[in-house]
Amino acid sequence: MVAAADSDSTLAGKGGAVTVRAPVPLFRKPSVLPGFGLTLGFTLSYLSCIVLVPLAALIVRSSGLGWSGFWSAVTTPRVLAAFEVSFGLSFAAALTNALFGFLVAWVLVRYDFPGKRLVDALVDLPFALPTAVAGIALSALYAPNGWLGKPLNELFGLKVAFTPLGIAIALTFIGLPFVVRTVQPILQDLPPEEEEAAASLGASRLQTFRSVILPAILPALVTGFALSFARGVGEYGSVIFIAGNMPGLTEILPLLIVIKLEQYDYAGAAAVGTAMLAVSFVMLLILNLLQHWMRSRHAR
């Protein structure tokens, strides 16, 4: 009792009121920038409407099948083969783009030549062109009697259209700008002094490239790769014309989903979509973590 009375009196003695601090919101650091609550609220609702709700609907739709129904829907040989085609070829195309897209960016940044602006603008064309147009153009070009398809077939016995190779070419076409446009600005901002320093320290051009230039642009290159890869997995229009669409061989996942929809198998389509979403998410997450690790090594 006495103790309680004592503590009361001390509280009263300190001015009668106990100042209550406003609860500090979690994750929030004091900042001079106003509008944190408003902008975060808006961002979250916007993201929910545009991205999360549709994706959630997809998952809800597929959940109608139940766990075993879902599992059997996505593990049929045809679906598994399509998974392999879609992810495998997108990966190959993204890898090709990482290499040659880097080369294009390098040439555009490092050298001056007549028509450079034109080439620079050309890089963006795959962004702008309707993908179906690209698909038709590519399949006409690489068909067994096409301009490129015919000599390739006659000289090397190489069939491009209606084979996995054709799909890879279409995916490379649409993914190229992603790598070029992510690497280009980084390459542009690379200080020439670091390369000069490497040269005066006795490094060859190859050594300079490997240990000075490449580490600096690798994060951007991985971003470009990831974007190109993600785009490839979701690509539909340009692929279906050149693919031939043989089930189990050149059938891509998006096409398989459309086929299932046409057969009124909505739950099956949603199940394949959900599985695709999961795989894509995991792969992009890994790429992001990889990038974070690379940046954290030196950008401190």
Nearer residue to other proteins within complex by CB, 17 or 299 = 299
Q: State the nearest-atom distance from the C-beta of 170 to other proteins, in Å.
A: 36
Q: Which of 198, 255, 269, 287 binds other proteins (CB under 8 A)?
A: 198
User: Angle at the Cα of 256 (from 252 to 260), degrees rounded to 5?
Assistant: 175
Q: And the tokens for 15?
A: 């001015």
Please answer whether residues 236 and 82 qualify as being in contact, where contact means their C-beta atoms are separated by less than 8 angstroms.
no
For other proteins, the closer of residues 79 and 217 by Cβ is 217
Distance of CA 222 to the CA centre of its chain: 9
Cβ of residue 221: shortest distance to other proteins, in angstroms?
14
User: How many whole angstroms separate alpha carbon 214 and alpha carbon 190?
Assistant: 11
**Which amino acid is present at 105?**
A
Any long-range contacts for 131-137 (C-beta under 8 Å, 24+ apart)?
131/174, 131/235, 131/236, 131/237, 131/238, 132/237, 132/238, 132/241, 134/170, 134/173, 134/174, 134/237, 134/238, 135/170, 135/237, 135/238, 135/239, 135/240, 135/241, 135/242, 136/241
Contact 240, 198 (CB under 8 A): no
Min. distance of Cβ 111 from other proteins in angstroms? 18
Task: Confirm or reject binding of residue 77 to other proteins (CB under 8 A).
Answer: no
Nearest to 277 by CA among 86, 47, 77: 86
Among 7, 43, 45, 207, the residue binding other proteins under the rule CB under 8 A is 207
* Least distance in angstroms from the C-beta of 67 to other proteins: 46
Would you give the binding string for other proteins spanning residues 212-231, x where CB under 8 A is met? x--xx---------------
Q: Give the residue, chosen from 75, 99, 196, 285, that forms a contact with other proteins under the rule CB under 8 A.
A: 196
Residue 137 near other proteins by CB under 8 A: no
Considering only CA atoms, which of 231, 140, 214, 218 is closest in space to residue 177?
231
Indicate whether 297 belongs to the interface with other proteins (CB under 8 A). Answer: yes
Q: Is 4 in the site for other proteins (CB under 8 A)?
A: no
Member of 203, 277, 283, 290 binding other proteins (CB under 8 A):
203
| 188 interacts with other proteins by CB under 8 A | no
Selected range binding other proteins among 7-15, 24-32, 166-174, 190-198, rule: CB under 8 A: 190-198
Is 202 a residue that touches other proteins (CB under 8 A)? yes
Q: CB-based contacts of 274: which residues, under 8 Å, 6+ apart?
A: 58, 59, 62, 70, 74
Kindly determine how many residues on this chain lie close enough to bind other proteins according to the rule CB under 8 A.
21
Amino acid at site 142: Y
Q: Which of 78, 297 has the CB closer to other proteins?
A: 297
153 versus 223: smaller Cβ distance to other proteins: 223
The stretch among 41-49, 54-62, 263-271, 291-299 that binds other proteins (CB under 8 A) is 291-299
- Which residues form the interface with other proteins (CB under 8 A)? 191, 193-194, 196-204, 207, 211-212, 215-216, 297-300
